[in-house]
Amino acid sequence: MREKQSALKIIAAASGLGAPDNRCAKGPEAVLSIIQKHPELLLSWHQTVTPSNADDLVSLAPFFAQLANETESLLKKESRIVVLSGDHSCAIGTWRGVHRAMNGPLGLIWIDAHMDAHTPATSPSGYWHGMPVATLLGQAENSFFIHEGAVVAPHNLCLLGVRSYEPEEQQLLQTLGVRVFAMDEIKRVGFAAAMAEAVAIASDGTQGYGISIDLDGIDPADAPGVGSPVVGGVSATDLLQALQLLQDDPCFRALEVAEFNPVIDVEQRTLHLVVQILKIVSGAEDESNH
């Protein structure tokens, strides 16, 4: 058990503007409703960031910039932070801010059913929740709001749980040399082994690493309340066990949880999974066992 600590601080990125179904913007508030009732969770709400106009794509640029500024500022003061995001396009702001705060190379573990590696030129839908990985790799520089280059190097990025993607995304990541664990490989080697390799990749020569969890990376039986569910994902048990092992790793600096849609959740299973994830990362899981 780790020593008694201050509460883990959380930033809410309450935006669904990057996805066709914007109800993921309601996810952070649903989690907040539980956190406020349970101070023993060692979780503290720090700030909520929202687009100035939830119906206008032009609002994404200042929203990402504000989110980046908030994450940078908070991580400079804290050893670890959490960002509860709406749709996964929020990662564009989250990890840009984390990268700035690290003052050196950032490693990133991306748990997701999708590759999220489209660019504006290849995206079939044009929605930004399908483009954050490409953007963070510096491959979407022709967009209207990305001007700072890559946030993470390809050799320090690892994707886990992938099972739904287009050929253009696969080609981009293969060309760049990004390690991708599709679900068929995870089923062969086990999630623990895949996660261990991901941590090694994200830790190699970096100042620290973060984990971005799109809840659709989890099997819909365990996380039904997500924006884009895909059958056959990572089990909640495997994910929680892996996070437990990383709980005391000082190189693990930031966690993002995205794509929780409380409107379509079933028996609050997804909500309770998010809370369980936060309990483990905060250290409250240890406290509850004693």
What amino acid positions are annotated as catalytic residues? 88, 112, 114, 116, 129, 214, 216, 259
Triad 209, 35, 199: Cα angle to 5°? 15
Q: Are 61 and 71 in contact (CB under 8 A)?
A: no
Triad 256, 261, 267: Cα angle to 5°? 110
Spell out a b/e string for 227-253, using b for 16 or more CB atoms within 10 Å of the CB, else e: bbbbeebbebebbbebbeebbeeeebb
107: exposed, middle or buried (Cβ count in 10 Å: 0-12, 13-18, 19+) = buried
Residue 262 CA: distances (Å) to CA of 17, 270, 271, 277: 16, 8, 7, 16
Q: Are 282 and 41 in contact (CB under 8 A)?
A: yes
Residue owning tokens 């609002």: 59
64 in helix, strand or coil?
Answer: helix
Q: Are 86 and 215 in contact (CB under 8 A)?
A: no
262 in helix, strand or coil?
Answer: helix
In one-letter notation, the amino acid at residue 81 is I
Residue 137 CA: distances (Å) to CA of 115, 152, 195, 239: 12, 6, 21, 25
Residue 81 CA: distances (Å) to CA of 72, 74, 165, 268: 10, 7, 30, 24
